[in-house]
Amino acid sequence: MPHAAIAKDNVAVITGGASGIGFAAATAFARAGMKVCIADVDEPRLADAATKLSSVTSAVDVMTFAVDVSNAESLAELERAVRERFGGTDVLMNNAGIQPGSTLFGEPDHWQRIIAVNMWGIINGSRIFAPNMIARGKCGLIINTGSKQGITTPPGDPAYNVSKAGVKAFTEALQHELRNTKDRRVTAHLLIPGFVFTGLTAKGRTEKPAGAWTPEQTVDFMLARLEAGDFYILCPDNDVPRALDEKRMLWAAGDIVENRPPLSRWHPDYADAFRKFVEGE
């Protein structure tokens, strides 16, 4: 049985919904008989996505909305528009994100945009939608798209890592708040994709690398783990076993507990120690 919020005639809102994981989720929700609002900053892509969804569900059950998730008022307009069209929201998927690459001492405007979209977009969406979702008195879901990089924080893209680490911390706080509300019918969940082949990660490639998942695989896994009640929805990769992801995360915590240098798992002086840790020696 799917999660109770994913049901015929319920309403799903997906930011970053015109492509990638967001569009795959919108398609899955539509196939479940839900009314779907796909929100995205790219209006031509929104129109194309709505046309594609019309092959899955009735056009009257599909809504599109141009939104800049970094702007709280833009998201408030989205929430109001969904209530006016469909009566309210049962599933909110805060999925919009960007990964243009960053350097530590790069342009501050670049950093601010990444954090504004990736982190503030999720904070804004959750804070604006959650009160009315709770007031509906129905089972509801808030799904925030994080990243393994927000947990293992590898070197090379610090602004993205900071934004996704913030998403993890915020979603944990959100779920704590929700489980202490009356009736506790709305829950938050952190989607932690691995390597997913989307426009965000393609970087000029036209064919999916063997190690990557498709957006559809990611959403199928997400739905299964929502049904199981997971808060942390940690997606494996085709070429990275879940056990290795777990070891990387545990080693990262060990940097603090054992007072190792930050990111020691990528430090050449600790290469052999990390290998032995991963292999259980």
Query: Would you name the residues annotated as active-site residues?
Result: 160
Backbone region of residue 179 per phi and psi (left: phi > 0; alpha: psi in -120 to 50; beta: other values):
alpha
Alpha carbons 71 and 79: distance in angstroms, whole number: 13
Alpha carbons 125 and 15: distance in angstroms, whole number: 9
Q: What are phi and psi of 109, to 5 degrees?
A: -60, -35
- Nearest by Cα to 15 from 123, 113, 112: 123
For the record, the structure tokens of 76 come out as 């408030």
Residue type, 70: S
User: What angle (nearest 5°) sits at the alpha carbon of residue 88, between those of residues 166 and 143?
Assistant: 25
